[in-house]
Amino acid sequence: MSMEKELIRHLLKKPVTLRYPFEKLPPVKGLRGKHVWDSERCVGCGLCARDCPSSAIEMIGKGLTAELKIYLGRCLFCGQCEEGCPRDAIRLTQLYELAESDRKNLILEFKREST
Amino acid sequence: MSSIIKIPFGPQHPALKEPENFMFKVDGEYVVDVTPRIGYAHRGIEKALEDRTYIQDLYLIERICGICSHAHTTCYTQAVEEALKVDVPPRAKYIRTIVTELERIHNHYFWLGIVAHEIGFETLFMYTWRDREIVMDLLELLSGNRVQYAMNMIGGVRRDITPEISSKIMKGVKVLGERMKYYKKICSDDKTILARSVNVGILKTKDAISLCAVGPTLRASNVKRDVRADDPYAAYDEIPFHVVTYDGCDVASRIATRCDEVIESVEIIRYALEHLPTGSIEVIVSRVVPPAEIISRVEAPRGENLHYLRSNGTDKPSRYKVRSPTLANLTALCKMLIGGYIADIPIVIAGIDPCFCCMDRLTFVDINNDETWGWEGEKLRRYGIKWYKKQ
């Protein structure tokens, strides 16, 4: 066996894996996670809903009064909505632990405050 | 007297490895004949592509394959850009090349681990997969995801490489290159690996050409053919690199070819990062593609990837066809298996780096008394390891 030296060298090292729920890696900058929506910036053009490859975004209403509904269960986290938005109103945050025990909680409903 | 046994191999196991069926005819320990049966993983992707717009298709194309997702999207964006008659900025071309090569490193590390696992060398499997994490972290840093990078857009790439990311990639690939040199030494020295790979799964140069093998499988049979060099795309016409070939024509040569390709990829990434042009990374393109018929090729980690696009002047393609490298290598794979031992089936199939990799279930048929029995891939793997221990 030619890997003995390597194996002996690693006897004194820590395991490379993390004990996940207790230890977590910090998410990288630019990770594609849960969505946030800025109601003040959104003009309701509907590009995000139109380009979404899995129809996970629903735009309720039109123009400046439009509101957004995102079905996280269908989302691919490809980031096309963020990329296509001309006003940067929709963004993906670094929140990645999105498991829910109830399917209803997987629907994000964004409302406008003033209306 | 000899007895020929039929062994169905595959197809279903939804958990880890993909479905595929092989019917083997065996005579004692020798494989006499093999018939592959494909189509178990048919997902209707080509039809689905026709129902979606070009922007949505980008993400569906990416999901054809998990490991070579960037190769598929590069091929697709190239085809659409050619139909649109758009020139991609040079910086975007370089970034595409860097991601493609990182993906190649990822794939070959992954493959080396699988080969080690198939021959029962679990130590090497664990170490290669540990080192694979380095390249996956780099890809995550660059694109925001470990596997489905979504880096390509029609008309460029989505994310830029900052100097900070560039220096991290430089550091990462240096470690990966050094580790691969070490693994290459192990693969050429270690008795276990040599006993299981030298003169196993022979594919002669003549057969490799006549059966249209592609990628590292072809290059391990001493045919110098690589889309990156023969029909340069992205930034490959500006980057110097060698096409790795070996003349062993067996699994050992396939291992050596892929090890050397990783070392070559490291050099390509280094060169590309040092010579990264400045400028924009994308151009705005129209959503509607004029009528055209385009063939696009890229060298995916597993071999030549061929896409065909027919557009009809709307925002949806009227026909899209994908020929992935595994399909091209399938006939060559049958040639390699015939005449070999049953115990070598897992390593020879893994040797072409198949994208179905379905070590699922197989049936053996005895030619004398038509006796049939079935084995799962895992059982076959164990059988192979045990059989070689007895030798």
The reply to whether residue A76 touches residue B185, judged by beta carbons under 8 angstroms, is: no
Both structure tokens of B280: 């924009």
Alpha carbons within 13 angstroms on the beta-carbon side of residue B7 total 28
Q: What are phi and psi of B100, to 5 degrees?
A: -60, -45
Model confidence at B376, pLDDT cuts 50, 70, 90, reads low
Q: Which chain B residues are closer than 8 Å to A33 by Cβ?
A: none
Q: Which chain B residues are closer than 8 Å to A31 by Cβ?
A: 140, 144-145
Substitution target from B145, B147, B161, B175 for chain A, most A beta carbons within 10 A: B145
Question: Over 80: is that where the pLDDT of B42 sits?
Answer: no
What are the distances in angstroms from CA B50 to CA B42, B60, B61? 16, 11, 12
Q: Which chain B residues are closer than 8 Å to A52 by Cβ?
A: 56
Contact B319/A at CB under 8 A: no
Helices B54-62 & B69-84 angle (0-180, nearest 10): 160
Return the higher-pLDDT residue of B20 and B365: B20
Return the SS3 of B153.
strand
Question: Over 50: is that where the pLDDT of B154 sits?
Answer: yes
ipTM, 2 dp? 0.91
What does the pLDDT read at residue B219? 93
The reply to whether residue B140 touches residue A2, judged by beta carbons under 8 angstroms, is: no
Both structure tokens of B218: 């072809």
Q: What is the distance in angstroms between the Cα of B154 and the nearest Cα belonging to chain A?
A: 12
Model confidence at B373, pLDDT cuts 50, 70, 90, reads low
Model confidence at A1, pLDDT cuts 50, 70, 90, reads low
Contact A95/B at CB under 8 A: no
B222-261 pLDDT, tens per residue? 999 999 999 998 899 999 999 999 998 999 999 999 999 9
Do the Cβ atoms of B111 and B262 come closer than 8 Å? no
Residue in A28, A51, A78 nearest the CB of B140 = A28
Return the SS3 of B290.
coil
Q: What is the distance in angstroms between the Cα of A48 and the nearest Cα belonging to chain B?
A: 11
Do the Cβ atoms of B248 and B198 come closer than 8 Å? yes
The reply to whether residue B60 touches residue A7, judged by beta carbons under 8 angstroms, is: no
Query: Whole-structure pTM over 0.80, yes or no?
Result: yes
| Alpha-carbon dihedral sign for residues B65, B68, B74, B79 | negative
For residues A73-77, give the mean pLDDT: 91
Question: Over 50: is that where the pLDDT of B359 sits?
Answer: no
Q: What percent of chain B has pLDDT above 70?
A: 90
Give the position of tokens 């109601």: A39
Q: What percent of chain B has pLDDT above 90?
A: 53
Contact B133/A at CB under 8 A: yes
Contact A26/B at CB under 8 A: no
CATH architecture of A27-110: 2-Layer Sandwich (3.30)
Do the Cβ atoms of B108 and B217 come closer than 8 Å? no
Other residues' Cβ atoms within 10 Å of the Cβ of residue A19:
8
The reply to whether residue A2 touches residue B189, judged by beta carbons under 8 angstroms, is: yes
How, if at all, do strands B30-37 and B152-153 pair?
A: unpaired
The reply to whether residue B186 touches residue A2, judged by beta carbons under 8 angstroms, is: yes
Do the Cβ atoms of B22 and B16 come closer than 8 Å? no
Which domains, from first to last, does chain B contain?
4-39+337-390 (no CATH), 45-323 (1.10.645.10)
